[in-house]
């Protein structure tokens, strides 16, 4: 007996189990394609932006981030944009977290569909088996005492086909669901670390800028004092 015959023997609920498998596999493949590491967290790009920020080229770094459509670029662009408006570290971090929440929601989009299909498939299989067993016992009672044991046994194994099909679909989908969850968690952690790295670099730049302003003010004050002393001396001589 080939798969087509088994599918037919399983009854109408086999179509529901097949639909669940198609939807689940399609979502897994779509998530794997959309969340490829180069599309989400391109390492070479991150290193380039960090180097530019370290050199004080924040405007150029912001332009590159806005041109790049990766998730980490969105977070870095938020940080650089807040920095360009002279925001504090807390405000820069808040801007990054706001964008990060949106990107995390994008990561998790449709993933729960896979979990739902993995949970629903064995239940559909069990439902098909229960319906099949009801039909078998009903036919057995109606045919009694002429009913033969081999006919009863045939009805049972046919009813169990949907349970087997549901498990065959559910196990791979559950593994795919857990894999996607773990992969998303790892990507989110790496994104947070890289984003906080940029925030730290921008904080250093803010601190350096403040220090430079303080030194400039102090230097100007030192330059004014000799001139004032000289002016008072000239007035005294006059």
pLDDT of 190 above 60: yes
At residue 107, the pLDDT reads 86
Give the count of beta carbons closer than 10 Å to the beta carbon of residue 86: 9
Say which residue, 214 or 16, is predicted with more confidence: 16
125 and 164 in contact (C-beta within 8 Å)?
yes
Question: pLDDT class for 150, splitting at 50, 70, 90?
Answer: low
The pLDDT score that the predictor gives to residue 177 is 95
> Which range has highest mean pLDDT (125-134, 154-163, 227-236)?
125-134
Q: What is the DSSP letter of 2?
A: -
The stretch 30-55 carries a mean pLDDT of 89
3-state class of 87 per DSSP?
coil
- Give the pLDDT band of residue 209 (cuts 50, 70, 90): low
Mean pLDDT of the chain: 83
Question: Per-residue pLDDT for 217 more than 70?
Answer: no
Which stretch of 4-8, 61-65, 164-168, 186-190 has the lowest confidence by average pLDDT?
Answer: 4-8
Lowest-confidence range among 81-90, 117-126, 176-185?
81-90
pLDDT at 135: 80
| Mean pLDDT on 79-96 | 87
How many helices, marked H, and strands, marked E, lie in the chain? 10, 0
Average pLDDT on 198-209 reads: 80
Determine the Cα angle at 33 with ends 31 and 35, to 5°.
65
Residue 24's region, left for phi above 0, alpha for psi from -120 to 50, else beta, is alpha
Q: Are 75 and 100 in contact (CB under 8 A)?
A: yes
Has residue 41 got a pLDDT over 70? yes
pLDDT at 214: 55
């Amino acid at each position: 007996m080939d798969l087509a015959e088994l599918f037919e023997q399983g009854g109408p609920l086999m179509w529901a189990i097949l639909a669940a498998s198609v939807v689940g596999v399609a979502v897994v493949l779509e998530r794997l394609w959309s969340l490829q590491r180069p599309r989400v967290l391109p390492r070479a790009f991150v290193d380039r932006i960090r180097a530019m920020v370290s050199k004080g080229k924040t405007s150029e770094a912001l332009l590159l981030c806005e041109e790049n459509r990766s998730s980490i670029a969105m977070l870095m662009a938020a940080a650089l944009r807040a920095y360009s408006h002279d925001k504090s570290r807390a405000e820069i971090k808040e801007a990054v977290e706001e964008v990060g929440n949106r990107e995390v929601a994008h990561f998790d989009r449709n993933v729960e569909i896979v979990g739902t299909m993995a949970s629903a498939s064995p239940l559909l299989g069990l439902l098909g088996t229960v319906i099949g067993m009801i039909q078998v016992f009903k036919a057995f009672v109606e045919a009694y005492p002429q009913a033969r044991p081999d006919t009863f046994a045939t009805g049972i194994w046919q009813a169990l086909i949907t349970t087997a099909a549901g498990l065959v679909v559910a196990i791979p989908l559950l593994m795919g669901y857990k894999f996607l969850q773990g992969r998303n968690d790892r990507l989110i952690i790496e994104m947070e670390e890289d984003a906080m790295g940029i925030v730290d670099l921008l904080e250093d730049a803010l601190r350096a800028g403040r220090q430079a302003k303080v030194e400039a003010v102090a230097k100007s004050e030192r330059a004014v004092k000799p001139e004032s002393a000289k002016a008072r001396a000239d007035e005294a001589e006059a």
